Structure 1
């Protein structure tokens, strides 16, 4: 699976830089860092969302002041792809109905493809590159 759709060069650079920083390229890390890299805000706050030393997510920062409706959706999807995380009492906000209702939705499919490559082989595409603003 070499053809990955990125939102832009910053997204692509972030993805590869974070995989190197984590020292792991398994499907969990690939899907997580891909998703977190979609938005400039989540890229800028990655250390508030992921603990590189402990190799774990930080869902407690979902309610940080810098978060927007779109970045919260990014985080919820990334956290869920990481280990099935859902916010207790707010599980419905991790469902596609709620998550995909934003401009990042085209990239969410790519994150799912990265997390579940064995089930998504028929969804691979030849080097398709879209910008978030093309929507």
Structure 2
């Protein structure tokens, strides 16, 4: 998926996404592209990317969900990002349930258009479908 064909929340979102994709050489990696696209949606996740992703190990950091900067919206953003990246569906500890990772638990935060765009990025092999 080419950057110009994608929808972005704002210029900060687009800039963050492009920078992370270039930094991690993820242009052909739909998993990481979806991850960074979703994390670019909020200022908090952009500013705290180092607590969500270990660039040295090229891996997500689940402990990022438990950081004090997290809000109700950023937790939903992170849950979607983790789910699109590796299928994570919750129950990392007793405070989470699989329901927190369903559309009911994630999409109810005013970012649904962008979250659906992330799903398209992750599943780009279906890009010709009319949704």
TM-score calculated relative to the size of structure 2: 0.89
Superposition map of 1:81-100 within 5 A: 81-88=84-91, 90-100=97-107
- The offset of 1:87, in angstroms, is 2.2
Q: Distance in 2 between matches of 1:64 and 1:6?
A: 26
Return 5+ residue gaps in structure 1 as ranges: 125-135
Alignment partner for residue 48 of structure 1, among 51, 54, 63?
A: 51
Q: State yes or no: 1:110 paired with 2:112.
A: no
Q: Distance in 2 between matches of 1:51 and 1:97?
A: 29
Q: Show CA shifts across 1:31-55 (max 9, x none).
A: 0000000111100000100011111
- After superposing on structure 2, the runs of 4+ consecutive aligned residues of structure 1 that deviate more than 6 Å are none
Return 5+ residue gaps in structure 2 as ranges: none
Q: Show CA shifts across 1:64-122 (max 9, x none).
A: 11100000000000000000112215111000011011111110000000000112323
1:72 aligns to what? 75
2:23 aligns to what? 21
> Does the residue aligned with 2:129 lie in a helix, a strand or coil?
helix
Q: Distance in 1 between matches of 2:130 and 2:20?
A: 25
Q: Distance in 2 between matches of 1:74 and 1:51?
A: 18
Larger relative contact order (Cα-Cα within 8 Å, sequence gap ≥ 6): 1
Q: Which deviates further from its counterpart, 23-32 or 105-114?
A: 23-32
2:108 aligns to what? 101
Q: Which deviates further from its counterpart, 108-117 or 86-95?
A: 86-95
